[in-house]
Amino acid sequence: MERQKNTNSGVKIIEVCKVAPPPILSSESDSPKSLPLSFFDLRWLKYPPIQSLLFYELPTLDAKTTPSLLSSFHSDILPRLKHSLSLTLHHYLPLAGNLTWPESSDKPVINYVESDCDAVTLVVAESDADFYRLSGTNYEDVIKSAEYHPLVPDLIMSRERTGLLALQVTTFRDGGFSIGITTHHVVLDGSTVITFLKSWAHTCRSLGSGQSYYNYSLVVPDLPLELKPFYDRSVIKDPAGLENLYLKQWLDLDGRSNRSLVCFELKQVFPDSVRGVFHLTRADIQKLRQSVNQYYSGDDGDHVHASTFSVTYAYVVLCLVKAEGLTKNDDEILVVFGMDCRSRLDPPLPNTYFGNCLVGCRVVTKTKSLVVDDDNCRSGLAAATKIISDGIKNLETNGVLKGAEKWLAIVTPSNFHPASVARIYSISGSPRFGFYSGTDFGWGRPRKFDIVSLDWSGSISLSDSRDGNGGVEIGLALSKQHMETFASLFAQGLE
Catalytic site positions: 185, 440
Q: Are 354 and 94 in contact (CB under 8 A)?
A: yes
Query: Which alpha helices (H) appear in 252-400, and where do they start and end?
Result: 282-296, 308-323, 378-398
For residue 204, count CB atoms less than 10 angstroms from its CB and return exposed for 0-12, middle for 13-18, buried for 19 or more: buried
Count other Cβ atoms within 10 Å, centred on residue 294.
11
Q: State which H helix or E strand residue 70 sits in.
A: helix 66-72
Q: Are 382 and 304 in contact (CB under 8 A)?
A: yes
For residue 334, what is the DSSP state?
Answer: E
Distance CA 313, CA 216 (A): 45
Q: Are 436 and 464 in contact (CB under 8 A)?
A: yes
Residues ≥6 apart with Cβ < 8 Å to 411: 43, 44, 47
Phi and psi dihedrals of 150, rounded to 5?
-70, -5
Distance CA 155, CA 120 (A): 10
Collapsing DSSP to helix, strand or coil, 422 comes out as coil
202 forms bridges with which residues in the sheet? none
Describe the strand order of the beta sheet including 472-479 as a list of residue ranges.
143-144, 273-280, 472-479, 460-464, 427-429
